[in-house]
Structure 1
Amino acid sequence: MRPSRPALAATLVPAVALGLAACSSPDDAPETPETSAATDAAGGECSPETLPTLTEGTLTVAAGEPYEPWYVGEPTSGEGFESALVYAVASELGYAEEDVEWVTVTFEQIISPAIKPFDIAAYQTTITEERAEAVDFSSPYLTSRQGVIVADEGDFAGASTLADLEGARVGVTASQTSLDAAEAAWGDAVEIVPFNAAGDGMTALSSGTIDAMVMDVDQGVAASTVYFPDTQVIGTLPATGEPEQLGLVLDKDSELTDCVSQAVEALEADGTLAELRTEWLKSDDVPELS
């Protein structure tokens, strides 16, 4: 991260940062929450004066350990996709930057049914029916794709199609979307190698243990440009099943959910989300492999 970017040779980033991505299997179909007009659950305006936040007049936001492209530096910086997103949502709701308070949480705290120490959480959390039984989600702010990463000096550096990768050893993160997407794309034409965390797979790719790694393309772009500069994203896999979408997380049946969803939808409608995706995720031009 720019002020305090971890050493690229260290494996802490793969194990901690990349391993925390909240992807899910396509079997967990996304379910977009319904939103109301510009009112909260009690029928009042969506404003700091009426929203029942943990601290009156303050929007408490949860995040994990910051890493690119989601957070550049500390979450308070406003840099990185989710940091910028939070401040845009807060502004839409009427909160000034100084009215946003950040807390650090684990991913388990976010998706558990326990009472939350935050109003909203921005932690790359995939919307699934199972999780929606324990927490509320805002309207989605990002639809993700699965990217394919290869080593710059590897045997498959020149690959540009799915067929070019036949016979490769392809890393995936076990029990996540990358596994299902890779199986659907190649079947038995590649050897799929599961890893507990995406960072472990990226380390294996850099060392030549595997030939390619499949992971969230936005995370992959950051991994290949910031943490593992000896790799490159060559494309995305064809979509399978329901689209994987990320949403802000709130306490179950939160009175804030409708207003937060409305804010996200307004940012989508006026082009703000598209601008933030282009600025911070830098995956718009990554082609789909055929």
Structure 2
Amino acid sequence: MRTSRPVLAVALASAATLAFAGCSSSDDGGEGTPAASGSATDCTPDGLQTLTEGTLTVGASDPFEPWYVGEPSSGEGFESALVYAVADELGFAKDDVEWTSVTFEQIISPAVKPFDVAAYQTTITDERKGAVDFSSPYLTSRQGVIVADEGEFADAASLADLKGAKIGVTASQTSLAVADAAWGDDVEVTPFNAAGDGMTALSSGTIDAMVMDVDQGVAASTVYFPDTHVVGTLPPVGEPEQLGLVLDKGSSLTACVSAAVDTLEANGTLDELRTTWLKSDDVPELS
């Protein structure tokens, strides 16, 4: 699962499509925490009903920056570090965390999961909450616009500057709806099965810009496709896009995992992880 540039075309497929309580239940009206049973005394390795007793099994797909640097088990990258921080809150040592490779489709499908929790840039939506449980959100995401350094739109600084452009998005991901809301018929939208396919098309001049999660876009343009750069983010549509850890629908672990995420938000750990691994704070919103 080691990342390389050729792997990115597959790995980027799941881009972000590529928020203080104890361990207690909440109704499904909350943004990230579906109803789940649990109490403070349950949130320990001895009390949690994991797939393997004493082990937290975590699902992830092909790793890429800034979410995973090297193997998911490295602890390097935002989501790898997040998983180990959540595990620590639940009382699991690093050696008690086992990683398993899954597809994005496995993560969001209603089928029984081969993991206790998955960390793979999964946007919380009402539709997905019908099939899986989400933890409290750990990141509010934005959709970024990436252009070629030498392309016609290299100096774009507004939505109007991109009028007439061929815009790539990832099919069936949130980037499609946000791009449609931003430009309507002023641009030609081209869906790609994977964000990496779109970035390859951008580098070759087949499209003029690519829309994807801005944190992923910053990494893509600096690590994998250095002939591109992020010009800005698109205006948000509807409720903020938030990412959550994914669990089986009705999982007994959901409340405890959410409580761990809430604690990490409250004590500043999530802010520290965002500062360390995500580099999008200075990216402006296009208007």
**TM exceeds 0.5?**
yes
Matched, 1:102 2:99: yes
- Count of aligned positions: 277
SS of aligned partner of 1:108: helix
CA contact (8 A) 2:31 2:137 kept: no
Matches of 2:247 and 2:122, distance apart in 1: 11
| Structure 1 residue runs without a partner (length 5+) | none
Corresponding residue number in structure 2 for 1:286? 283
CA gap of 1:53–1:5, structure 2 versus 1, over 3 A, is closer
Counterpart position of 1:232: 229
Q: Which residue of 1 aligns with 2:15?
A: 21
User: Is the contact made by 2:135 and 2:258 (CA closer than 8 Å) also made in structure 1?
Assistant: yes
Matches within 5 A, 1:142-181: 142-181=139-178
Q: Residue by residue, what CA displacement relative to the aligned partner does 1:97-138 show, whole Å, maximum 9, x if unpaired?
A: 111111111222222222222111111112122222222111
Cα distance in 2 for partners of 1:17, 1:30 equals 30
Alignment of 1:262 onto 2:259 = yes
Query: Cα distance, 1:48 vs. partner?
Result: 1.4
Q: Distance in 2 between matches of 1:101 and 1:157?
A: 43
| Partner-residue secondary structure (3-state), 1:32 | coil
Matches within 5 A, 1:47-62: 47-62=44-59
| Residue deviations 1:126-154 (CA, integer Å, cap 9, x gap) | 21222222221111111111000011111
From 198, 201, 216, the equivalent of 2:195 is 198
Equivalent position amino acid for 1:32 in 2: G
- The aligned residue for residue 24 of structure 2 is none
Instruction: Return the offset for 1:59.
Output: 1.1
Q: CA RMSD in A?
A: 2.1
CA contact (8 A) 1:30 1:128 kept: no
Tell me the TM-score normalized by structure 1. Answer: 0.89
Residues 152-188 of structure 1: per-residue CA shift (max 9 Å, x gap): 1111111111122122222122232212211211222
State the 4+ residue runs in structure 1 displaced beyond 6 angstroms: none
Identity of aligned residues (%): 74
Kindly provide the amino acid, as one letter, of the partner of residue 80 in structure 2: S
Quick check: 137-146 or 121-130, which moved more? Answer: 121-130
Q: Deviations over 1:199-254 (max 9, x none)?
A: 11111110111111111111111110111010000110011112221111111211
